Structure 1
């Protein structure tokens, strides 16, 4: 029974997962982009003080992005030969979840009045956001941005962290290059 409850909770959380957010320059010709490289000073850990964003996590993100872009036919090359440069950012925010519900209703005749009890619970949790930028190297202009946020989980194995990063990056890059929108 406990496993069923846990499985149901996991499915519910997965169903509530945020979909990625994309934005891109409609005037950019994405069919010209065949090669990529990383922005030379790109760093996931810069200006972020959170134990989950570490050089280990940075390596996982880079490997996942490289694999996804290569899967879509792009080739990792030196910065000087790249059509586009990849940059990335991460942030961690603390959010609060508040639930209020009635836990009972009662009437007392030995005292005048009726009423109900209300219970409020609060939970603090961390939400991480991963942002991937694609910059046209020739013009040095941002042509595509994708982002996804999700609730951070503590006490995960390195294998689980790698799996989550691969899924997140694949999800973000699922619209790169952007699919034409039918009006």
Structure 2
């Protein structure tokens, strides 16, 4: 029993951050990619504020790792989102009574909190010379519609950090 509570706490902490998956061609030499630029037209599925938040987050992470934004880039970046509304959690209430072989019961549920959005964000890196996808990361995270601008900035930074944790893959 004394091991159960720390295990539950660890599971809860692990579920708080975004989940991310990556894909790339292992034969690609990622050491040749030093400069990047964003696709000129992004159809991301989010508003302009969130576009800028995500782009600034990715820029800051890549630049802190020595990558340089350039018009003559080695790779280009695209991102897009798919959002799904998640209904609120509910708390169930039940009552029952029985005796003499007869049972009576009832139950109901109360919604807790409002709707949340499950946001799937995909980040693509494309080699413009070959016109090929060289790396892709996909992250899934809850996004709260009532978040403040600062919370939204933090949301996109966490997603970008999670996505880019494995880029470049053969370093």
TM-score normalised over the length of structure 1: 0.74
Q: Structure 1 pair 130/14, CA: closer, same or farther in 2 (3 Å)?
A: farther
Q: Does 1:153 pair with 2:164?
A: no
Instruction: Tell me the distance in 1 between the aligned counterparts of 2:31 and 2:85.
Output: 39
Q: Residue 51 of structure 2 corresponds to which residue in structure 1?
A: 58
Which one of the candidate residues 119, 126, 140 is aligned to 1:135? 126
Q: Determine the structure 2 residue equivalent to 1:74.
A: 67
Q: Tell me how far apart the structure 2 counterparts of residues 67 and 125 of structure 1 sit (CA, whole Å).
A: 28
Unaligned runs of 5+ in 2: 1-9
Cα distance in structure 2, aligned partners of 1:73 and 1:88: 21
| Cα RMSD (Å) | 2.6
TM value normalised by structure 2: 0.79
Number of the residue aligned with 2:5: none
What is the CA distance between 1:43 and its match in structure 2?
3.3
For structure 1, the 5+ residue unaligned runs are 1-10
| Separation in 2, partners of 1:65, 1:145 | 14
- The number of equivalent residue pairs is 159
Q: Counterparts of 2:162 and 2:78 in 1: how far apart (Å)? A: 17
How far the C-alpha of 1:96 sits from its partner, in A, is 3.8
1: CA distance between counterparts of 2:54 and 2:128?
A: 21
Displacement after TM superposition at 1:56 (Å): 0.9
